[in-house]
Amino acid sequence: MNSRSARPEILRPYLPADGSEGNVRPLRVAVLVKTNEGGMWILPQIEELRRRRHQVVVILPPGPGRLTVELRQRGFEVAESPFDFRVGAPSLRKLLGLRALIRRLRPDVLHYHLLASAFAGRIATLGLPVGRVHMVAGPLYLESPLIRLFERLLWRLDDVIICGCQHAADRYGELGCPPERRAVATYGVNTDRHRPDWLSPTPTPTAGLDYDPQVPVEARAKARAELGIAADTFLAIMVAYVYPPIRLVNRGRGIKGHDVLFPAWRRFRERHPNSHLLVVGGGWAEEGARHRLELIDRFGINADPGITWLETVDDVRPWYVAADVSVSPSLGESHGAAVEAGAMAVPSIVSQAGGLPETVDEQCGWVVPMDDIPALTDALSQAHTAFEDGTLTERGRAARRRMVELFDNRRSALTVADTIEAVAVRGRRR
């Protein structure tokens, strides 16, 4: 099942073509993100840029979103985007407004995340003396033939594409992007914040791979008590927002694979009744909330005693501590919840979608074919067997070691900052 779980080629730095490195003067970097609510994963990257004395301004949609509030609390400059990242009659005027804003900010490098931001940033800066760095949060859009057609041309407007997983880098390679213009750096996870003993003092930075945190018995018992789950019950967890179906990909189905997990779970629980599924995550925006209610109705979730579905929570760590295995049955993904689960010493079952297979190996998880209910049912049974014979805990420890070694977002933030500096240096030499 783990045919694609080879070690990912992540954290590959981008360097100037002439191999030069060295001191980089303080830069002005503008970061463009299409949402002011999500996108919290930019924080370690911009913190690293600020640590290097670069000035950072983040361009977001107007409004008091969660990301906006966090940025201002941390002392970052936030500029409101005149462009709302939607296509319509006023789009050209709003794009011109975004162009005027970028000209006024005069960044050395414009760093954009998410496809809508990339389209807007590329077009708004045509002809401007600014470096462009595109970071790919998720490669799902590259499954659309129409979008691939456009990206085959538009990626050439990027100085560098930082791919959040090796899978995305491979897909851009298929579109003609040369290796020297596609770095790989995972969005990752903070493995100090996400650790099974997170209630204990933070370990020293030198702890590294030798630090083997254990799941606190009291924290696990408390979380399970809140859920009404007995200590000897096998508990699987799926953590994911519910995104609305996308017409251009997956034949109009939701991307996270809820409609794959629920029937697989029913089959599995018929064989293993002392099992429970915890789903964590509300709908993303109004369309996602509606789709969540459709899923609840279609699969009879409220009437199923073997499933608990919580809305989005502020802190998911207690629920990971309660769980035995994490499930990511996505139809399109970068690394998703598997990195958080692994950092919390929870092994994962992941689908063979996007970069998910990069998150596990034979020692710490299972990879199943995408959209394959029988295969997912079988993987749940294998995890249950490991739970019964006591080997699942060691898989969780192996998952934790893999996250520390390969997926810590503070290490990948170094690669992002190196890449931005290199683009700025190269731009000055052209």
For residue range 98-133, what is the model confidence (pLDDT) as tens digits?
A: 999 999 999 999 999 999 999 999 999 999 999 999
Cα–Cα–Cα angle for 77, 82, 87, rounded to 5 degrees: 135
Instruction: Give the separation between CA 211 and CA 188, rounded to whole angstroms.
Output: 19
With tokens 């609510």, the residue in question is 37
60: part of which helix (H) or strand (E)? strand 55-60
Instruction: Give the separation between CA 106 and CA 28, rounded to whole angstroms.
Output: 8
What does the pLDDT read at residue 428? 53
28-188+409-429 and 208-406: identical CATH topology: yes
What does the pLDDT read at residue 376? 98
The residue type found at 114 is L
What does the pLDDT read at residue 204? 60
Instruction: Give the separation between CA 428 and CA 415, rounded to whole angstroms.
Output: 20
DSSP conformation class of 238 = E
Cβ contacts of residue 193 below 8 Å, gap of 6+?
A: none
Cβ contacts of residue 179 below 8 Å, gap of 6+?
A: 173
For the chain, the maximum distance between any two Cα atoms, rounded to a whole number of angstroms, is 66
pTM of the model: 0.88
Q: Print pLDDT tens along the chain (430 aa).
A: 544 444 444 444 444 444 444 468 999 999 999 999 889 999 999 999 999 999 999 999 999 899 999 999 999 999 999 998 876 656 889 999 999 999 999 999 999 999 999 999 999 999 999 999 999 998 888 988 999 999 999 999 999 999 999 999 999 999 999 999 999 999 999 999 999 998 887 766 555 556 677 778 899 999 999 999 999 999 999 999 998 887 665 566 888 999 999 999 999 999 999 999 999 999 988 999 999 999 999 999 999 999 999 998 889 999 999 999 999 999 988 998 999 999 999 999 999 999 999 999 999 999 999 999 999 999 999 999 999 999 999 999 999 999 999 999 999 999 999 999 999 998 754 4
Q: Are 113 and 135 in contact (CB under 8 A)?
A: yes
What does the pLDDT read at residue 252? 66
What does the pLDDT read at residue 251? 66
Instruction: Give the separation between CA 246 and CA 79, rounded to whole angstroms.
Output: 29
CATH architecture of 208-406: 3-Layer(aba) Sandwich (3.40)
The residue type found at 283 is G
Instruction: List the chain domain ranges.
Output: 28-188+409-429, 208-406
The residue among 340, 338, 339, 300 whose CA lies nearest residue 317 is 340
Strands 234-239 and 275-280, bridge-based pairing: parallel
Q: Which two tokens stand for residue 319?
A: 């629920």
pLDDT tens-digit map of 199-230: 887 766 555 556 677 778 899 999 999 999 99
Q: Is 240 helix (H, G, I), strand (E, B) or coil?
A: coil
The residue among 404, 420, 407, 417 whose CA lies nearest residue 51 is 417
Q: Are 367 and 352 in contact (CB under 8 A)?
A: yes
What does the pLDDT read at residue 200? 83
Instruction: Give the separation between CA 349 and CA 357, rounded to whole angstroms.
Output: 9
Instruction: Give the separation between CA 253 and CA 243, rounded to whole angstroms.
Output: 9
Q: Which two tokens stand for residue 90?
A: 């006023």
DSSP conformation class of 316 = -
The residue type found at 171 is R
Q: Right CATH number for 28-188+409-429 from 3.20.20.70, 3.90.230.10, 3.40.50.720, 3.40.50.2000?
A: 3.40.50.2000
Query: CB 235: neighbour CB atoms within 10 A?
Result: 22
Query: CB 54: neighbour CB atoms within 10 A?
Result: 21
Q: Are 279 and 299 in contact (CB under 8 A)?
A: no
